[in-house]
Structure 1
Amino acid sequence: MDLIAGLIQTSILAGGVLALAALGEVLAERVGIVNLGVEGLIALGAITGIATVVAIPSPTLGFVLALLVGLLVGMVFATATVIVRANQILCGLALTLMGTGVAAMIGKAYSGIPAPATFPPVAIPFLSDLPLVGRALFTQNVLVYLIYLVLPFAIHHLLFRTRHGLDLRAVGENPAAADAAGIPVRRIRFWYVSAGAALAAGAGAYLTLAFVPSWSEGVVAGRGWIAVALVIFAGYRPWTAVGAALLFGLITSLGFVGQARNWPIAAPVLSMLPYLGTIALMIVPVLAWQKVRRLMAAPAALGQPYFRDVR
């Protein structure tokens, strides 16, 4: 029973990084911008979080500063892709290289230093006393509750239950028609791409302040690329993206348990499980029924720059 409870708890913690980054990518891709710089943004957020708590032992401040760093970098990326209308793929790859490089350079001074302050578990009265699932589900840190309960609901409501969400999705589907209807295409794209980048950087701060409380080069370990893949698999829907992130958290925790219990599987193979799972999930839409593929279709204008004078 303790093993199952620990597995569930670790799955939730591990999936939180992917869930927050994927939610940010959902916002960006719903307005038609592909951001392949998620890996770099997570790295920048991770080093910002750990550097902040080393200087000032406040994980909340570290998380907020990581969000601000992500927002500022996202605004630079949005300027390049939305205003200048540069190639989105190349800008995203450049952001990944820049983010991981800068984080590695700054992180040399913090490598191996445990975080002096992290987000502590918050037990929900009565629910945390439930057998098996009480400790796993209801004794988590505040970011877990935010990522799994608040943000998916808020983003889903925004996208599918408000007039503004309809405008937002219209920008991602047909920016020319949206512009003709008076919707500010460039403004919406700019700010939602920036907001998505902020959430990706927040995922990095979550990584070093709530999941792995330290910094080391390579700590991001491809999670940004997995988050991008999860968005595609989830059909650009927030709740599905969070569910897929939780599934990957389970796969990651299985690798941890396998190594701790000396399963007769090579440690490198166990470490590869999340990446093998990513490949498997990318194959699913290809083999799925036509209706499922249609539900998972990308926004029609995804990756396409909008030129107002060419309509």
Structure 2
Amino acid sequence: MDILQILGIIVPATLVYSAPLILTALGGVFSERSGVVNIGLEGLMIVGAFTAVIFNLFFAQQLGAFTPWLGLAAAMAAGGLFSLIHAAASISFRADQTVSGVAINMLALGSTLFFVKLIYGKAQTDKIPEPFYKTDIPGLSSLPVVGDIFFSDVYFTSILAIVLAGVSWFVLFKMPFGLRIRSVGEHPMAADTMGVNVYKIRYISVFISGLFGGLGGGVYASTVTLDFSHATITGQGFIALAALVFGKWHPIGALGAALFFGFAQSLSIIGSMLPLFKEIPNVYMLIAPYVLTILALAGFIGRADAPKANGIPYIKGKR
């Protein structure tokens, strides 16, 4: 097996598992850049996955091939609305943001499982009838070498995730709105003095994190699991949180970290096809993403500086 064949296996699998992590990590970047710690990314993914699957099951016959895309839109809306609970607790009521995020995770899992059992009488939904399918990206798949590796037999959602990372970088670092987000995360009092509404910007940023988190969960459910249960989202939100820290709260850094963790997650599926990994027992491949997450953060967290006001509730007029 030559290097191009190996890359042809690794890259598409990595993109599949990275896309939900990229999207969710981008949401965390917006929230934490504004000064609001969002431990609730896991919960936002759960809500997004649940919404995308239920929407697909209910409307597939009427909407046909449009169903998974509209399901993602519904997942984004659900994630955004759900994130407002965290925004209200953290910004308006100045609750401990870590505790609020943990509560969001617990509430998301408990409420979605309640509705699944209420609707289906069991703890797991049926398989969705209209999932996303792998395809060749028109035009790009015909490029020499890179076309076969990066743009053939991939999901559109994987390419979308990478594009949105670039868009997020542009918004945060090249637009006035991004400057306001970063200013309230670094020095909210100075931003307030300059006329920036700190509370409004933080609410919007947390809402954006909900949109991305819901989208990430919807993509995972629509491309990987194809149903919803208590085990649909099992740590992906926390891995996305690790990706944004590992990426230094920067969209492109989060993209790179999410690709690394996505590769680690894909090893349990593609490891047996790769010469270097095929002799390793599958159980080690299954725990690889979590071990690599811990090792990466243990060696890197001390050199990663969060926004200065991250996790600190803002009280107008108080230093």
- TM normalised by structure 2 equals 0.89
| Superposition deviation, residue 211 in structure 1 | 2.8
Greater CA deviation, 11-20 or 71-80?
A: 71-80
Residue 73 in 1 paired to residue 82 in 2? yes
- The separation in 2 between residues aligned to 1:122 and 1:76, in whole angstroms, is 38
Residue 165 in 1 paired to residue 178 in 2? yes
Aligned twin of 1:111: 124
Aligned twin of 2:241: 228
| Superposition deviation, residue 268 in structure 1 | 2.4
| Superposition deviation, residue 186 in structure 1 | 0.3
Aligned twin of 2:63: none
Aligned twin of 1:90: 99
2:44 pairs, out of 5, 25, 41, with 41
Deviations 1:62-93 (A, max 9, x none): 11111111111111211111111111011000
Aligned twin of 1:148: 162
| Superposition deviation, residue 44 in structure 1 | 1.0
Aligned twin of 2:22: 19
Gapped regions of structure 1 (runs ≥ 5)? 288-292
For residues 119-198 of structure 1, the aligned pairs below 5 Å read 119-130=132-143, 133-139=146-152, 140-149=154-163, 151-198=164-211
Gapped regions of structure 2 (runs ≥ 5)? 61-66
Greater CA deviation, 257-266 or 278-287?
A: 257-266
1:263 pairs, out of 278, 289, 293, with 278
Say if 1:251 and 1:215 are closer, same or farther in 2 by CA, change over 3 A. same
Contact conserved, 1:5 with 1:133, CA < 8 A, in 2? no
Say if 1:116 and 1:286 are closer, same or farther in 2 by CA, change over 3 A. closer
1:52 aligned partner, one-letter code: F
Aligned twin of 2:10: 7
Contact conserved, 1:39 with 1:100, CA < 8 A, in 2? no
Contact conserved, 2:39 with 2:102, CA < 8 A, in 1? yes
Aligned twin of 1:62: 71
Greater CA deviation, 114-123 or 48-57?
A: 114-123
Residue 272 in 1 paired to residue 287 in 2? yes
Aligned twin of 1:308: 316
Say if 1:208 and 1:286 are closer, same or farther in 2 by CA, change over 3 A. closer
| Superposition deviation, residue 56 in structure 1 | 0.8
Contact conserved, 1:168 with 1:188, CA < 8 A, in 2? yes
- TM normalised by structure 1 equals 0.91
| Superposition deviation, residue 270 in structure 1 | 1.3
Say if 1:182 and 1:124 are closer, same or farther in 2 by CA, change over 3 A. same
| Superposition deviation, residue 309 in structure 1 | 3.3
Residue 247 in 1 paired to residue 260 in 2? yes
Contact conserved, 2:116 with 2:125, CA < 8 A, in 1? no
Greater CA deviation, 208-217 or 272-281?
A: 208-217
